Amino acid sequence: MRSPGCPLCESAGGELVATGAHFRLIRADEAGFPAFYRLVWGDHVAEFSDLAADERQHCMEAVAAAERLVREHLSPDKVNLAALGNQVPHLHWHLIARFRWDSHFPSPVWAAAQRPAPADKLAALQARLPALDQALRQRLAF
Amino acid sequence: MRSPGCPLCESAGGELVATGAHFRLIRADEAGFPAFYRLVWGDHVAEFSDLAADERQHCMEAVAAAERLVREHLSPDKVNLAALGNQVPHLHWHLIARFRWDSHFPSPVWAAAQRPAPADKLAALQARLPALDQALRQRLAF
């Protein structure tokens, strides 16, 4: 079910990392956060509670599987999950690996920056993404 | 399982609205957002993927049940869900009713305010909370 004019119905919304039967995982292009993923539900629904119970379970098991791989590959200090959708009311879960050294920690990524993120840390993180993405692609094909 | 020094292990963390077997629902005291709830997992775990699959399902069915009641009682323009925990790494889900007139919409509540929230709208929202809280208390006793 698609909604005309919805950017997440009409385009991938970022770099496509993995495709499941009912969702896709993309990497967002958010400055300073290389490991910022979004799990986008396939159908156009606005709210998490618009899903049926089995769909919610499917969705959150995908989120949890992605989170586990992010933790295994990147050892973040914290993972942040969020379904906001104020701007694009098409269900998508932000999944963001957070580090004490990142530009906003411990604030949410949407708050004001606290410091510049060190370029060497960002580069080291970026270098780990291809292996993580491959693991996500294999694991999330359900 | 409790962790010494964790504020969500050692206190309710807000006004207690509902108590389930494995979680509690509190209302946070966040200026400008009367309908800002937190579903706090009972055990001290940092990440959503630290839960077992059946615990994740239990947790998210509670979140979805709360979300449905918030939608029924308040007709928000959007519901925001988030598990961040950078400051307090004890699993809790923020559940926030958002309105086009609120101080930050469409930005996340953690971003910069866009405008003052109208006092009459805040008061009208506040007036609906006792009935919502009662419904939440009944529905979330699982």
Mean of pLDDT values over A72-77:
98
Is residue B36 in a domain?
A: yes
pLDDT tens, position by position, A99-131: 999 999 999 999 999 999 999 999 999 999 999
- Average pLDDT over chain A reads 96
Domain that holds residue A18: 7-139
Is residue A78 in a domain?
A: yes
B39: closest CA of chain A, how far (Å): 14
Enter the tokens of residue A89.
């009311």
Count of residues making up chain A: 142
User: Nearest chain A Cα to B63, which residue?
Assistant: A49
Contact B85, B91 (CB under 8 A): yes
With 0.90 as the threshold, say if the pTM is over it: yes
Chain A residues whose beta carbon lies within 8 Å of the beta carbon of residue B107: 86, 110
Contact A63, B51 (CB under 8 A): no
pLDDT at position A30: 86
Mean of pLDDT values over A75-85:
98
| Other CB atoms within 10 A of residue A78 CB | 21
Mean of pLDDT values over A46-68:
98
Is residue A90 in a domain?
A: yes
Is residue B2 in a domain?
A: no
Is residue B43 in a domain?
A: yes
**Binding-face residues of B in 86-105 toward A, CB within 8 A:** 86-87, 89, 98, 105
Q: How many domains does chain A have?
A: 1
Is residue B1 in a domain?
A: no
Distance between first and last Cα of chain B: 19
> How far apart (Å, rounded) are the C-alpha atoms in residues A29 and B84?
20
State the DSSP string of B80-142.
EEEE--SSS-S-EEEEEEE-TTSSSTTS-TTS---SPPPHHHHHHHHHHHHHHHHHHHHHT--
pLDDT tens, position by position, B84-122: 999 999 999 999 999 999 999 999 999 999 999 999 999
- The distance from CA A136 to its chain's CA centroid, rounded to whole angstroms, is 11
| Other CB atoms within 10 A of residue A79 CB | 25
User: Nearest chain B Cα to A113, which residue?
Assistant: B111
Is residue A92 in a domain?
A: yes
> How far apart (Å, rounded) are the C-alpha atoms in residues A72 and A66?
10
pLDDT at position B142: 82
B9 three-state secondary structure:
helix
Q: Above 0.95 for ipTM, yes or no?
A: yes
More confident residue, A1 or B44: B44
User: CB neighbours of B35 closer than 8 A, spacing ≥ 6?
Assistant: B27, B70, B74, B76, B96, B97, B125, B129, B132
User: CB neighbours of A130 closer than 8 A, spacing ≥ 6?
Assistant: none
B63 three-state secondary structure:
helix
Residues of chain B with pLDDT under 70: none
Range B107-119 burial, b when 16+ CB lie within 10 A, else e: bbbbeeeeeebee
Question: Please, what sign has the CA dihedral across residues B126, B124, B111, B77?
Answer: positive
CB contact under 8 A, B86 and A105: yes
Q: How confident is the model at residue A69 (pLDDT cuts 50, 70, 90)?
A: very high
- Give which of A51, B10, A130, B54 is closest to A23, Cα–Cα: A51
pLDDT at position B29: 78
Give the CATH number, domain containing residue A52: 3.30.428.10
- Give which of A120, A113, A76 is closest to A96, Cα–Cα: A76
CB contact under 8 A, B56 and A53: no
Is residue B13 in a domain?
A: yes
B108: closest CA of chain A, how far (Å): 7
Mutate to test the interface with B, among A86, A88, A136, A140 (most CBs of B within 10 A): A86
Is A29's pLDDT higher than 90?
no
Please report, as a single letter, which amino acid is at residue A98. R
